[in-house]
């Protein structure tokens, strides 16, 4: 096609404004790379009067974002509103039904409705592209669709939330606890006023569900993700992890097992010999293991105006080129409806931190609880006396089944000498 690609953008927040800037500043370069001119025709946002530091001269303002979905002078709708339902979902569905292409950064929408949106796009002949929905400026979806398409993915894992990685990094560097560092992150703009979406693991779980669908050719199954956040990780745990030559990271992990696809988001002890242990601050990283390529890792900024806008515009260029590819690598009607592996079936090693009364027989009682589930200890760290009479005891185990560990932990928590709920963190080997 030689005519311009006509673009409508819904949502002019940080990312939307970044896309407008990028389209303006690199217009000639993007037209050369896309094979046709890119023309921003219309935009829509909640407030027209808000100061945004972008030039919208000659661009039509639509009060109702849904108008973009049916406007005859728009070829591609860029949805940057966010949320798994509401106007964002209606806009994307209506645009695809109208035969338009859709570019979105909306991981929540894709995590909840990805398979049906992919099917709708293919039925109507449109492109559904979402590079910006996972890991910001890291081209991980493109890697799965193109560079790694010759492989059967055996496992993927990654740091998928920059806020959590920043908090854990700062806790390690300063020795301060979670609540203090969270408050600092909010003041610095790295964490939202309500941080639960990030620190409770939901954001990372949305991204993992989308990645899993693309990597394993499966219907996106957010409900099948086991999710834990970082609220219970203490500076004490971070210090013990370092002592054990490990580092604590919030990871999203997925792999196929005999019981189905295992999807997990939770804090992990990662060995210092693993490259992902050294991804710090607000950076993200995704590792893919394929049967022919082996191990690969992609890293970069996982959020922010520039990186996310870069990913959005990369998808727009693919639309300009007419690159029709299945949204989740294989055609939507061939996406497998795979079972979610029960978390109880997970097998791995564990870190357990207990706060116990400093008196004889405590370690023996804890050991009996583990022995009843045939759980073997690898190491133990026991600290000396304290003024309160409570001391930390850290245990690491050999590999065992999650169900066994949870039963043993339940017994340990009921011991009179155990002063607070045990802290459990899974140990990963890469």
Residues identified as active-site: 207
H or E segment and range at residue 28? helix 27-34
Angle at 428 between CA 424 and CA 430, to 5 degrees: 170
b/e burial code for range 363-381 (CB count within 10 A of at least 16 → b): eeebeebbeebebeeeeee
Nearest to 251 by CA among 430, 101, 125: 430
Contact between 47 and 116 under an 8 Å Cβ cutoff? The reply is no
Contact between 222 and 265 under an 8 Å Cβ cutoff? The reply is no
- The 3-class secondary structure across 257-309, one letter per residue, is ECCEEEEEEEEEEEECCCHHHHCCCCEEEEEEEECCCEEEEEEEECCCHHHHH
Please give the Cα distance from 187 to 102 (Å, whole number).
35
Nearest to 301 by CA among 171, 182, 163, 168: 163
Handedness of CA 106, 311, 46, 193 (dihedral sign): positive
Please give the Cα distance from 323 to 302 (Å, whole number).
25
Contact between 177 and 235 under an 8 Å Cβ cutoff? The reply is yes
Give the count of beta carbons closer than 10 Å to the beta carbon of residue 122. Answer: 18
Q: Please count the residues of the chain.
A: 430
Give the count of beta carbons closer than 10 Å to the beta carbon of residue 3. Answer: 9
Nearest to 40 by CA among 53, 51, 26, 155: 26
Handedness of CA 378, 383, 385, 387 (dihedral sign): negative
């Amino acid at each position: 096609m030689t005519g311009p690609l006509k673009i409508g953008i819904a949502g002019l927040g940080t990312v939307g404004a970044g896309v407008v800037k990028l389209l303006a500043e690199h217009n000639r370069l993007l037209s050369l790379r896309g094979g046709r001119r890119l023309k921003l025709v219309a935009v829509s946002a909640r407030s027209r009067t808000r100061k945004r530091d972008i030039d919208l001269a000659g661009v039509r303002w639509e009060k109702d974002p849904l108008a973009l979905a049916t406007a005859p002078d728009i070829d591609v709708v860029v949805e940057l509103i966010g949320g798994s339902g509401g106007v964002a979902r209606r806009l994307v569905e209506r645009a695809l039904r109208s035969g338009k292409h859709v570019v979105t950064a909306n991981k929540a929408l894709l995590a909840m409705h990805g398979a049906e949106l992919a099917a709708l796009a293919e039925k109507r002949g449109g492109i559904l592209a979402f590079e910006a929905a996972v890991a910001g400026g890291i081209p991980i979806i493109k890697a799965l669709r193109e560079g790694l398409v010759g492989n059967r993915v055996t496992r993927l894992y990654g740091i998928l939330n920059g806020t959590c990685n920043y908090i854990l990094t700062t806790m390690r560097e300063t020795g301060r606890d979670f609540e203090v560092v969270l408050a600092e992150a909010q003041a610095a703009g790295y964490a939202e006023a309500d941080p639960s979406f990030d620190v409770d693991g939901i954001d990372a779980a949305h991204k993992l569900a989308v990645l899993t669908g693309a990597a394993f050719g499966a219907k996106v199954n957010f409900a099948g993700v086991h999710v834990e956040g970082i609220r219970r990780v203490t500076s004490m745990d971070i210090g013990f992890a370092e002592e054990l030559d490990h580092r604590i990271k919030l990871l999203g992990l997925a792999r196929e097992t005999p019981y189905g696809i295992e999807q997990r988001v939770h804090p992990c002890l990662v060995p210092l010999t693993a490259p992902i242990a050294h991804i710090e601050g607000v950076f993200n990283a995704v590792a893919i293991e394929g049967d022919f390529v082996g191990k690969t890792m992609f890293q970069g900024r996982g959020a922010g105006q520039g990186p996310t806008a870069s990913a959005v515009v990369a998808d727009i260029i693919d639309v300009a080129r007419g690159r029709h590819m299945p949204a989740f690598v294989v055609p939507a009607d061939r996406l497998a409806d795979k079972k979610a592996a029960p978390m109880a079936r997970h097998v791995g090693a564990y870190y357990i931190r207990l706060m116990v009364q400093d008196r004889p027989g405590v370690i023996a009682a804890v050991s009996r609880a583990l022995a009843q589930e045939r759980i073997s200890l690898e190491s133990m760290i026991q600290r000396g006396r304290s003024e309160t009479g409570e001391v930390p005891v850290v245990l690491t185990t050999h590999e065992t089944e999650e169900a066994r560990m949870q039963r043993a932990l339940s017994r340990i928590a009921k011991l009179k000498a155990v002063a607070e709920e045990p802290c459990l963190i899974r140990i990963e080997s890469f």
